[in-house]
Structure 1
Amino acid sequence: MQPQIMRRIPIHSIPLLLIPVPEMNTPRSINSPGQFNLVSSCFNHHYEHSNHNTMTGFFKKKVRFSRTSTVHLPATPQLYRSRSDSPASSLGPITPPSASVGLPGPTPYAYGYYGAPYDGGHAVVPGKYQAAPPAPPPARLPLAPVQPIRVAPSSSNSPHSSSSHNSRGSSSSSSQRFAIHRYLELASSHPAIVYNLLDHPSMAARHHYTLSPAVLAEPATSPALSSLTVKMPTSLPSAWDLQVAPRANGSFVTLGDVLDQLYAQLRVNINQRDFDHLRSSAERKEATAAYERRYRRYRAQDAYLREKKGGMKRVDFLRGKSVFLGLGRGKRSAVWILNTG
């Protein structure tokens, strides 16, 4: 019998045994196939310390992804059922019942919510309501009768008027005194109305508002006069004094009559004799400069040329002092003096 010779076989020439091992600690669904990892079944201490550094002795675990999602649903807890209320609900606050609260309203005929009568803030249970008493008719106060405007005779017809009525600075006076309209009263610092005699009376304003037609129709004096006299300032000839007559209603002079006729009187063109009335060459230069400033106020070319071609007017003799300050009382009745600044 031939003896057997034992040879030493290197460990790396031995085939490895592959054993299928299921993947542990990994959730699976019913429909997904099992996932397996390949693990080496042989461990060799000598091979681990060999020069073959390409092998570590273990196959690294690989991550697998399933095509289906795995959802873990917790079990439904058992509900607590009892015939009586639970302790938690029994200790809770009790919801108060809703009550109808009347809304406050005007007294004495006020009503509550949903048409219920209002009883001073207390709730009224809806149900049988009684009709509210009818409201009393409003009290009608007797109206005072409208007093007609009494027109006083003019100063020319008064028996107390002096024979020198047309003379300037007459010392005679009438026993009856007249009050001028509040918008025509003299005020050197703060006039009642803002008005420049260069402009039309429609531009006169009070507190940034133009005067209404009702205000312009008020009597210019109290009591109302059928005529009155407005004397011009001393810088203007006495022949330019204005006799205001009623035009709006034909019976007495109104506020609008005074402003309109005063504007028309100062818009009259002057002649050579009027220009020579100025005492000095300085006054003539001031009047000419006032004329130039007047037509240069217009921005539109047509208005500028029209005012310039109109020539010098009486208002230019005020020499720039064309702001209406009011009418001062004259020495005689129904006579007032124009004041400008």
Structure 2
Amino acid sequence: MINKRVQFAPTNIVYSPIPSTPSPCRSTSSLPSSPDIPTPPPELEYSMGGGYPRSPYPRQNDEIYPDQIDPKSMQIHFLLAYAPYAEPALAYDLTLHPDSLNDQVEFATFYEPATQPPMRSILIICPQLKQWDPIEVTAARSNGEYVTVVDVLTAIYDHLRSAVSHSEYATCTERQAVDAAWLARWIRIQDAELRAAEKMKGVKRVDFLLGQNRFLGLSGTLRGPDIWELNVSR
């Protein structure tokens, strides 16, 4: 757990893909159907097995440590950036798997570094979920070289899908609101079998967001370049 007081930077420094990168958005009609976020085909990988050609930082031979970076100079991928006076780049419901974003994001954009400089791990804190440890994001889809956009989204989703224990639920002071969020989450599922299965899984951490399931992005903190805050809303 993070015990020290966290301060937040007023704005993010945002980076976009290199100019030769195609637009990150595409129409639904141009997409192949896919149940999961696909694994990059071999032709997208470098011959030496590191990174992805769309990344501005394709390889990192030396590990970057957080204490080597000024938090104020840290940049975050534009798809993940919190912009308090603008709409988020992603229209993302945190109750859904990241593969629901396939109609918004170019295939390879998922695998770009989440930050610049790229980091091998980051922590994400969420004010609404203080009772749990921060979300730890590790490099899983870049041969371990850096945290990618999809690493971040998947780690958040997995964390929020964790079941709530009886003791955690018992100590909650907003159980009525949590129950309402749980009900709203499963009752909207149209398939009766899937709806019943989701109901039986019980309360998840995402329900402690009290219906604030809209992803607004990550904001930087002055606690360290590897510590970010998750912003949400209704």
Same fold (TM over 0.5): yes
CA contact (8 A) 1:179 1:221 kept: yes
Structure 1 residue runs without a partner (length 5+)? 1-145, 161-173
SS of structure 1 residue aligned to 2:132: helix
What percent of counterpart residues are identical? Answer: 30
Aligned partner of 2:211 among 305, 309, 320: 320
Q: Which moved more, 1:327-336 or 1:305-314?
A: 327-336
Paired residues in the alignment total 174
Aligned partner of 2:122 among 225, 228, 245: 228
The aligned runs of 1:239-318 (5 Å cut-off) are 239-249=132-142, 250-279=144-173, 283-318=174-209
Cα displacement string for residues 89-109 of structure 1 (whole angstroms, at most 9, x for unaligned residues):
xxxxxxxxxxxxxxxxxxxxx
Partner of 1:210: 104
Go from structure 1 to structure 2 and tell me whether the alpha carbon gap of 1:242 and 1:147 turns closer, same or farther (over 3 Å shift): closer
Cα displacement string for residues 48-89 of structure 1 (whole angstroms, at most 9, x for unaligned residues):
xxxxxxxxxxxxxxxxxxxxxxxxxxxxxxxxxxxxxxxxxx
Distance 2:148 2:133 in 1: 21
Aligned partner of 1:180 among 76, 83, 93: 76
Partner of 1:198: 95
SS of structure 1 residue aligned to 2:99: helix
Q: What amino acid sits opposite 1:242 in the alignment?
A: I
Which structure has the greater CA radius of gyration? 1
CA contact (8 A) 1:198 1:322 kept: yes
Q: CA deviation at 1:278?
A: 2.2
CA contact (8 A) 2:189 2:195 kept: yes
Distance 1:335 1:257 in 2: 15
Shift >6 Å, 4+ stretches: none
Cα displacement string for residues 144-192 of structure 1 (whole angstroms, at most 9, x for unaligned residues):
xx8644365243xx378xxxxxxxxxxxxx4673201101110244101
Q: What TM-score do the two structures reach when normalised by structure 1?
A: 0.48
The aligned runs of 1:28-39 (5 Å cut-off) are none
SS of structure 2 residue aligned to 1:224: coil
- The RMSD of aligned alpha carbons is 2.1
Q: What amino acid sits opposite 1:246 in the alignment?
A: A
Structure 2 residue runs without a partner (length 5+)? 1-55
CA contact (8 A) 1:185 1:328 kept: yes
Go from structure 1 to structure 2 and tell me whether the alpha carbon gap of 1:254 and 1:147 turns closer, same or farther (over 3 Å shift): closer
Partner of 2:26: none
